[in-house]
A and B are shown apart, each in its own frame.
Chain A
């Protein structure tokens, strides 16, 4: 009996996959998934709405980042993106791959020092990195232009994810330490963070290679 009850808890995951596949509005899909999972777990609708409301209120900090938009908007009105293009076009050696590889290295190194929020999609990618990458790439059609901008965002993510775990006081390291301690295994944060270094090196090598190959195959005619 308890086994069948348990498997119904997965109905939320099924709703998520079906909802995304059928291209419903993602907010609607998430709400429906929460409802399905809650009902399967035997919660009544009021309890589900309350649980979701409490979690939403507790995670408001996630949406605070949007306060940077007025500053970005002010800078863009006065020509920041255009200036970024002019700067890159004036640099002779600034190719697309060199520019994004440099940003990747910078992002990994600063994240490894714990400075994860000094850059990001709203703070640096939209106003600076994407227009610079586009200017350096000089894409010849719209599809390539989209790929260049998507790669600028991807480079920020790769740099952040495979840099931050080298820092000892980041959330994921503390989560691992806390979880393992509950299981009776004491680990020092440094033991964990040092083993993030091999993957960090491979991440840099693979992504830099892909940037170089993209430039060779798609940007030079």
Chain B
């Protein structure tokens, strides 16, 4: 059965190639740091299950140490003339190739559900994404006929542009696990429920919506905030004391949390990684572009709970 093991094999080989190509990137003065960083990530993908928990922890510490030393910017890439000429020669067919990955993800997500013996039903999305990448690479190699290593060389340069931010989302997800172990959520929930004035439904609704957004901003993830804020305020006050509709309180409360996700660098894969991918100078440019949508939408979510849940 195709599942996560095969996906991690593809990812591990890809990072291993980035590591080897970094090592021979003579234009990058810090190439050995880059090579070690991507190499350790390859090791994690290929052999993480055999390293043991403490071994994986040491691997993370090594990644953090390398990032603190500072990764270098990779060199290489194509010239503007080269790209302009390619655009003129290949025309709009380039878009068809660009759509292979999304279309493969779409077809796989819908189709593999009916083939549980072939593909692990829980991992259809990641498996489809990986197959889409391999398919697009194969078509691209045959059609565009680049030098054999060109996609990996250029991919390595893009990877270097993202740099340490590439593993920030995974690091934050892991931090969430340590926070859960230490009971951080219960403490925050306890503090929040202590500040609501007794007998005021409006104050409770506002505290629930704001609390979801604020705690999401701290944790970078509304999934971490939801159980905490719902246990502290949503259930005891909004649902049990004031008889609010639980489906509305839960559904719109979660969306209030999503407004928080738009406003925090802690949600790195949505807010920090794209800034690196798009070569933006300001690491927080995407967050700044989103605040104007997130704040009015948060106010509307709080109002929706107030008007809809207590009829």
A contact set with B: CB distance below 8 Å: 6-7, 9-10, 12-13, 16-17, 20, 25-28, 30-31, 33-34, 37-38, 40-41, 43, 46, 48-84, 86-87, 114-115, 117-119, 121-128, 130, 146-147, 149-154, 156-158, 161-162, 165, 171-172, 175-176, 179-180, 183, 185, 187, 191-193, 195-196, 198-199, 202-203, 206-207, 210
User: With A and B bound together, what is the CA distance between A39 and B265 in angstroms?
Assistant: 25
Judging by beta carbons under 8 Å apart, are B57 and A53 in contact? Answer: yes
Closest-by-CB residue of A relative to B168 is: A26
Tell me whether B187 and A10 are in contact (CB under 8 A).
Answer: yes
Distance to closest chain B CB from A164 (angstroms): 9
Instruction: Please report the C-alpha to C-alpha distance between residue A6 and residue B48 in the assembled complex, in whole angstroms.
Output: 33
The interface residues of chain A lying within 8 Å CB-to-CB of B184 are 9-10, 12-13, 37
Q: Which one of B23-31, B197-205, B294-302 contacts A?
A: B294-302
Q: Return chain B residues, CB-CB under 8 Å to A55.
A: 173-178
Provide the residues of chain B in CB contact with A121, threshold 8 Å.
270, 273-274, 277-278
A68 & B101 in contact (Cβ 8 Å cutoff) = yes
Cα distance A60–B178 in the bound complex, in angstroms: 16
Q: A157 and B262 in contact (CB under 8 A), knowing A61-B4, A71-B133, A179-B226?
A: yes
Task: Identify 27 residue pairs between A and B in the complex whose beta-carbon atoms are under 8 Å apart, listed by A's number.
Answer: A9-B184, A12-B175, A20-B265, A25-B164, A31-B60, A33-B175, A38-B181, A49-B60, A51-B57, A57-B44, A57-B51, A59-B174, A64-B7, A64-B11, A71-B151, A74-B151, A76-B78, A77-B83, A78-B146, A80-B87, A87-B92, A121-B274, A154-B286, A156-B274, A192-B250, A203-B297, A210-B293
CB-CB nearest 10 A-B residue pairs: A53-B57, A79-B87, A53-B56, A73-B154, A79-B86, A49-B57, A70-B155, A41-B182, A55-B177, A55-B174
**Nearest Cβ on chain B to A18's Cβ, whole angstroms:** 13
- B278 CB to closest chain A CB (Å) equals 5
- Distance, CA A128 to CA B88, complexed state (A): 17
Question: Given known contacts A66-B11, A87-B92, A199-B300, is B285 in contact with A49 (CB within 8 Å)?
Answer: no
Q: Chain B residues near A117 (CB, 8 Å)?
A: 105, 109, 125, 129
With A115-B109, A119-B102 known as contacts, the answer to whether A196 contacts B58 (CB < 8 A) is: no
- Kindly provide the distance from the CB of A161 to the nearest chain B CB, expressed in whole angstroms: 4
CB-defined contacts of B290 to chain A, threshold 8 Å: 154, 157-158
Q: What A residues does B265 contact at CB under 8 A?
A: 20, 26
Chain B residues lying within 8 Å of A180, measured Cβ to Cβ, are 246, 250
Known: A13-B184, A175-B226, A179-B227. A63 touches B130 (CB 8 A): no
Q: Are B280 and A150 in contact (CB under 8 A)?
A: yes
Are B137 and A25 in contact, CB atoms less than 8 angstroms apart? Answer: no
Q: How many residues of B contact A (CB 8 A)?
A: 142
- A196 to B246 Cα, complex, angstroms: 13
Of A59, A175, A187, which one neighbours B170 at CB under 8 angstroms? A59
The residues of B that contact A7 with a CB separation of less than 8 Å are 187
The total number of A-B Cβ pairs within 8 Å is: 400
Contact A71 B171 (CB under 8 A): no
Is B41 part of the binding interface, using a Cβ–Cβ cutoff of 8 Å? yes
User: Shortest Cβ distance from B295 into chain A, in angstroms?
Assistant: 10
* Contact between chains at A162 and B255 (CB < 8 Å): yes
B137 with A56: CB separation less than 8 A: no
Residues in A with CB closer than 8 Å to B11 are 60, 63-64, 66-67
- The reply on B192 being an interface residue by CB < 8 A is no
Identify which of A6, A51, A118, A175 contacts B106 (C-beta below 8 A). Answer: A118
Which residues of chain B are near A124, meaning CB under 8 Å?
102
- Identify which of A10, A191, A206 contacts B296 (C-beta below 8 A): A206
B169, A62: Cβ atoms closer than 8 Å: yes
Q: Are B68 and A27 in contact (CB under 8 A)?
A: yes
- B301 close to A199 (CB less than 8 A): yes
Please report which residues of chain B, range 151-177, place their CB below 8 angstroms from some CB of chain A when the two chains form the complex: 151-155, 157-159, 162, 164-177
CA distance A72 to B252 in the complex (A): 36
Q: How far is the CB of B139 from chain A (nearest CB, A)?
A: 10
A124 to B270 CA separation, bound complex (whole angstroms): 13
B57 touches A79 (CB 8 A): no
The verdict on B22 contacting chain A, using a C-beta distance below 8 Å, is no
List residues of chain A with CB within 8 A of the CB of B251: 165, 176, 191-193, 195-196
Which residues of chain A are within 8 angstroms of B85 by Cβ–Cβ distance? 79
- CB of B62, distance to nearest CB on chain A (Å): 11
CA distance A41 to B109 in the complex (A): 41
Contact A157/B286 with A63-B166, A172-B222 known, Cβ cut-off 8 Å: yes
Report B183-233 residues with CB < 8 Å from chain A CB: 183-184, 186-188, 190, 218, 222-223, 226-227, 230-231
B89 surroundings in chain A (CB, below 8 A): 79
Pair A125/B64 contact, Cβ less than 8 Å: no
Given A13-B184, A126-B277; 14 other pairs, CB 8 A cutoff: A25-B164, A46-B54, A49-B61, A56-B60, A60-B44, A63-B169, A71-B133, A71-B151, A124-B102, A146-B281, A146-B282, A157-B262, A157-B286, A162-B255
